[in-house]
């Protein structure tokens, strides 16, 4: 049976666009969420969701957009903008929690301008699972904080990112992508590796091969977590951008 919904992805720079068409209900929300999740995991600078040809008979179904936006808040830190809902869908969005989380614009052109203005600055590096990766991660943080005038964040952010990278070197052993993102008032750090094995902080009093491990990440970061990313996972941490 053919799906009652389609999702067309147009990758652009700096804004990617997903056009969702068909009927959004409690059956098709999972498909829509999966597409949005894949797009967000690619870390575009911003994402526009085109609702021009979408209808939704179910008030609860529109919450999928709020769920996707909340998922992107800590990682991969991608601003989302919805656009061009018809009057009925616009009313459903207004009655839901969506508009508190995701801005809605009347036209796709306006949404693209807004998303482009909200695009977040990032620095990225692809690293191999070798000891020198930790030093390269610290250099990336130092460069980012210098560009964005965040001198007080250099120390704690360097420690946190070095620990996240060291965890991949010691345990996952796969190539990784390291990203530093500024979305004030937060500095976001993320490491995506090729292992699906989740990470957990060690018990107090224990020390892993790296000495301080993820317990130190938990102490220095405002928030941190682990999420699936492609065939692997992303481990992220958020610090104050002082």
**Token pair 């869908």 is at which residue?**
89
Given a cut of 60, whether residue 1 has pLDDT beyond it is no
Q: Is the pLDDT of residue 142 over 60?
A: yes
Residue 154 · residue 141 · CB < 8 Å: yes
pTM: 0.84
pLDDT of residue 99: 87
CA angle 106, 108, 113 (to 5 degrees): 100
Q: How far apart are CA 190 and CA 183, in angstroms?
A: 13
Scan for tokens 């459903």, then name that residue: 92
Q: What is the CATH number of domain 5-118?
A: 3.30.750.24
Give 73's pLDDT tier (boundaries 50, 70, 90): confident
How is the chain split into domains, by residue range? 5-118, 122-240
Query: Whole-angstrom Cα distance, residue 153 to residue 23?
Result: 46
Per-residue pLDDT at 201 exceeds 60: no
> If you classify domain 122-240 with CATH, what class do you get?
alpha beta
Facing residues of 127 across strands? 176
Give the other-Cβ count within 10 Å of 51's Cβ: 25
pLDDT-based confidence at residue 74 (cuts at 50, 70, 90): confident
> pLDDT class for 10, splitting at 50, 70, 90?
confident
Among residues 226, 223, 216, 215, the alpha carbon closest in space to that of 240 is found at 223
How many Å apart are CA 155 and CA 185, to the nearest integer? 17
Computed on alpha carbons and rounded to an integer, the radius of gyration of the chain in Å comes to 19
Q: Mean pLDDT in the chain?
A: 89
Give the per-residue pLDDT at 204.
42
């Amino acid at each position: 049976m053919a799906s009652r919904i389609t999702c067309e992805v147009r990758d652009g720079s700096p804004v990617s666009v997903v056009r969702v068409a068909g009927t959004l209900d409690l059956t098709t929300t999972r498909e829509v969420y999966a597409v949005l999740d894949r797009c967000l995991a690619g870390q575009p600078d911003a994402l526009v969701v085109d609702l021009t040809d979408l209808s939704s008979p179910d008030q609860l179904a529109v919450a999928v957009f709020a769920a996707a936006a909340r998922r992107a808040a800590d990682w991969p830190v991608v601003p989302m903008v919805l656009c061009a809902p018809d009057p009925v869908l616009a009313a459903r969005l207004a009655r839901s929690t969506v508009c508190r989380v995701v801005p809605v614009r009347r036209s796709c052109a306006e949404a693209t301008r807004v998303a482009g203005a909200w695009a977040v600055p990032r620095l990225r590096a692809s690293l191999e699972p070798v000891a020198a990766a930790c030093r390269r991660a610290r250099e990336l943080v130092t460069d980012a904080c210098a560009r964005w005038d965040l001198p007080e964040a250099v120390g704690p952010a360097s420690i946190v990112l070095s620990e996240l990278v060291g965890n991949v070197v010691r345990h996952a052993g796969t190539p990784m992508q390291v990203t530093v993102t500024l979305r004030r008032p937060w500095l976001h750090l993320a490491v995506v590796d090729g292992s699906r094995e989740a990470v957990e902080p060690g018990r107090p009093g224990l020390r892993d091969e790296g000495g301080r491990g993820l317990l130190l990440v938990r102490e220095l970061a405002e928030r941190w977590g682990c999420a699936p990313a492609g065939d692997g996972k992303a481990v992220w941490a958020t610090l104050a951008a002082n």
